[in-house]
Chains A and B, each alone.
Chain A
Amino acid sequence: MTEYDSNTRGGDPVLVVEDLTVEFPSGEGLVKAVRGVNYQLQRGEVLGIVGESGSGKSVTSLAIMGLLPRTARVSGSIRFGGVELLKASEKELNKVRGKGIAMVFQDPMTSLNPVYTVGDQIAEAITAHHDVRKDVAKKQAIDLLDLVRIPNPKQRADEYPHQLSGGMRQRVVIAIAMANNPDVIIADEPTTALDVTVQAQILEALQAAQKETGAAMVLITHDLGVIAGQADRVHVMYAGKVVESGSVDEIFYTPRMPYTLGLLGSLPRLDVKTERLTPITGSPPATQNMPPGCPFSPRCPLSQDICDKEEPPLVAGPGSQFAACHFTEQVIGRDPAELFSATSADTAAVPVTVDAATDTETI
C-alpha cells in the first residue's frame, strides 16, 4: 500500500510503485530481491534510495524500466502516466523508456556504445521518440552537450566514448537521459565510479538536468553524504524492503529504525573527528530462504523474541516519517555508539563475534 509514502507536494504522482516484489529462482531456492516496495513520486522531487549491496535498491529500478531478466518473477504494480508498466507490452514499454522515464547507470563506459560517436547516440535517443530529421537531432544533441557543460560541444559530439574521460562520459549519459524531457530520471549510483571532484561536477549536472526538465528523480546510492545533499525524501532499504522513509532531515536527524541509526554511526565523517566508529555486527541476511521476522534482527541491539517471529510493518511516526521496527520508540534520540555497543561486542574486545556470521554467507 502506498500510505507510508506521504504525499507532501500534493498533485498527482508521476510514478506509483505498489507492493512491488521481485524474485529470482536460483539453485539454492528463491532469491527474494525485493519484498514489497511502495512509493509515489511527485513532479520535481528527488527521492533518495539508500541501502548496502544486495538490499534490492537497483533491482527496484530495473523492474520499473522493465529491464529485468526473463527469469525474474515480478508482481505488484508500477503505474506511470496511467499505464501499468508490469502488464505493458514491449512496444508500449519502448514508448516509456527514454521518453517518460530515463535512466542513468553507474558505469558510463558500459552504458554507451563504443562504436558510435556520442553525438549520434544522443541523436538516436531523440529520433527514437520524435519524428525529426537526423541533422536536426544532431543539432539538438550539441545543445544538450552544452547543457551538461561539456566544453566544445560541437567537436565533442563527433568523438567516441573512449576519447572522453569518465566524468565526460557520464555527462553524455545524462544528456541522453534529458534528451526527451522525461518525467522521471532514475539515477542508479551515478557517481560511484567517479572521483570526488568529478562527482561534485556530475551531481551539479544532474541537478541542473532535473531542474531544466522539471522531472522527478530517483537517486539510488550507498553514499549517505550524496543523499544528504541531493534528496528531498529518503527511503532506507534493507533486505529487499523499505525499512524507513521520511524527509531527508527526519532520516538524518531523528532516525527511528535501528538500521538507519547504525548506518549513520558506522560512517567515518569528514566534518567530525570520531575516535571510534560503531560498526553494525554481522552481515546482511542471504535473500534466499529468509527466516521469518525482522531481517535486521540478528544484527540489532534491540532485538527481542517478537523480532524473530514477526516482521514489523512500516508504521507512521511523527511528521512524514515511517519506520519498520517493533521498538522504534527506543530508537528515538539514541546515540548510535551507545545503542550499538550495548549489545554488540566491539572488534577487538571480543574478536570472535564480529562479522562472524559465516553461516549466512552467500557467494
Chain B
Amino acid sequence: MSEATATRTPVLSAQNLVKHFPIRGGGIVRRTTGAVQAVSDVSFDIYPHETLALVGESGCGKSTTARVALALQPLTSGKVTFEGRDLGTMGKRELQRLRREMQIVFQDPYASVDPRLPVNEIIAEPLRIHGLYDNGGRQQVRDLMKTVGLRPEHGNRFPHEFSGGQRQRIGIARALALKPKVLVLDEPVSALDVSIQAGVLNLLKDLQAEFGLSYLFVSHDLSVVRHVSDRIAVMYLGKIVETAAAEDLFNSPTHPYTQALISAIPVPDPRKERTRQRIVITGDVPSPANPPSGCRFRTRCPKFANEIDDAGRKKCSTEEPLLIDHGQGHPTACHFAESLQLI
C-alpha cells in the first residue's frame, strides 16, 4: 500500500481470497473431476472515500472476486473483513444487517431491476427488507431519485419506460437506499452508449464526494477505469498481476500483461494511434481449470517469448512470481518487471 493509505484503516479488506468452482463428471454420481480456479489468492484493501478498480478481460475472475468479497458467494478459502469484522464467522442475521453497508450495482440495467415493479417500489425494496421504510421511506425514495438525476414524479413508471442510462440510475438509487459505505460497481457503464455513460460516471463521482462512499469498480475498460479510480488492480486468470495508484499504473506499467492491455486500447486520437507503440500479445487466455505452471501469463507473454534466455524461461515456468515491489515503486507479479512508458 502507498504511504498515504498506510495510516488509515481499510473499510473492506480481502485476504488471500480463493474461489474454485467444481467441475463435475457426467455420470449419475457427478463426481467432482476438477475445479475452475476463478479466483486464486487475491488480496486487496479498500479505504474510505477511495475507488479501487479491478480490471481484466473476460474470465479473469474480477466479477467473482467482487461477489465473494460481498459474501454473495461462499469463499473456498480466505478472509473478508468489513471494518475489522470477519464476514466468514458471522451468523446469517448479523451478515444481513451488515449488507446495509455493502451494496452492489450490476452491469445490465435491463436485467437487474424487476420489470413488474414501479420505480418507487424498486428503490424502496431494500428499505422494506431492512424494516426502514415505515420511517419516512416515501420521502427517502423521492430524495434518492433526485440524487441520481431522475424526476421523483416518475416514480410510478415502470422500468421499461426508461432508457438504459436512466435504468442504471435506478439501480444506483436502489443501491444507495441503505446508505452503504462500500458500493461494488460491476461494469456499471459497459452497457451504455458513450454520451450516456459520461453522465453516469459523473454521477458516481459526485455521489462518492457527497456520501464518502468507497467503490470497488469492476471493469474491463481501462479508459473508464483511468477516469474513476484512485488505485487499480489488474487481474489475469484469477490473480492480481499488478497493482498501483492509477497514475502510476498508466505512466509506468511494469507487468507485460498490463503493458499489453494499455497498448491494445485504442485512443480517440488518429495521430497518436498512428505512432503508438503496440505490444500485441498472441493467443487466448488459457483455461482457468488448468492454468499454466509458474507464471500464469507466460503462455502469452511477449517477454517470455522474445526477450529472456532459457534460464529466465525456466524460472517463469517453475516459479510463481510474487506480487511484490520489484523496484518500480509498486507491486507487480513478474520476475522480469520493467517499467515502460506507453502513453
Hey, which bits of chain A sit against chain B, CB under 8 A?
Answer: 52-53, 165-168, 195-201, 204, 222-229, 248-249, 252-253, 262-271, 273-274, 276-281, 283, 346-348, 351-356, 358, 361, 363
Whether A347 contacts B151 by the Cβ 8 Å rule is no
Closest residue of B by beta carbon distance from A265: B198
**Can you name 25 A-B residue pairings with CB atoms under 8 Å?**
A52-B195, A165-B284, A168-B284, A195-B220, A196-B261, A197-B261, A197-B280, A198-B284, A201-B280, A229-B270, A252-B268, A266-B194, A266-B197, A266-B198, A268-B197, A268-B223, A268-B227, A273-B227, A273-B250, A283-B196, A347-B199, A347-B206, A351-B147, A352-B146, A358-B163
A358 to B163, CA, bound (A): 7
Q: Mark B265-288, 1 if CB is under 8 A from A, else 0.
A: 111111111100010111011000
B67 on the A face (CB < 8 A): no
With contact pairs A199-B264, A269-B223, A273-B226 given, residues A228 and B269 touching in the complex (Cβ less than 8 Å): yes
The winner among B165, B193, B197 for most chain A CB atoms within 10 A is: B193
B262 on the A face (CB < 8 A): yes
Whether A197 contacts B149 by the Cβ 8 Å rule is no
Using Cβ atoms and an 8 Å threshold, which residues of chain A touch B247? 273
With contact pairs A197-B281, A270-B262, A358-B161 given, residues A277 and B201 touching in the complex (Cβ less than 8 Å): yes
Is the contact region of chain B dominated by helix, strand, or loop, or is it mixed? helix
Using Cβ atoms and an 8 Å threshold, which residues of chain A touch B154? 356, 358
B231 on the A face (CB < 8 A): no
B148 on the A face (CB < 8 A): yes
Closest residue of A by beta carbon distance from B157: A358
Closest residue of B by beta carbon distance from A349: B206
With contact pairs A248-B270, A270-B343 given, residues A356 and B150 touching in the complex (Cβ less than 8 Å): yes
With contact pairs A197-B57, A355-B165 given, residues A262 and B195 touching in the complex (Cβ less than 8 Å): yes
B195 is contacted by which of A167, A198, A279, A351 (Cβ under 8 Å)? A279
Closest residue of A by beta carbon distance from B247: A273
Q: A352-B150, A355-B149, A356-B166 given. 13 additional CB < 8 A pairs?
A: A197-B260, A222-B194, A252-B268, A268-B198, A268-B223, A269-B227, A271-B343, A280-B195, A283-B163, A348-B202, A355-B166, A358-B151, A358-B161
- A296 CB, nearest partner CB in chain B, Å: 11
The winner among A222, A227, A262, A270 for most chain B CB atoms within 10 A is: A270
B98 on the A face (CB < 8 A): no
Whether B220 contacts A196 by the Cβ 8 Å rule is yes
Using Cβ atoms and an 8 Å threshold, which residues of chain B touch A264? 268
Using Cβ atoms and an 8 Å threshold, which residues of chain B touch A353? 149
Whether B264 contacts A271 by the Cβ 8 Å rule is no
With contact pairs A197-B281, A198-B284, A200-B280 given, residues A270 and B267 touching in the complex (Cβ less than 8 Å): yes
A281 to B146, CA, bound (A): 16
B36 on the A face (CB < 8 A): no
A228 is contacted by which of B195, B221, B266 (Cβ under 8 Å)? B266
Using Cβ atoms and an 8 Å threshold, which residues of chain A touch B194? 52, 222, 224, 263, 266-267
Closest residue of A by beta carbon distance from B267: A271
- A73 CB, nearest partner CB in chain B, Å: 27
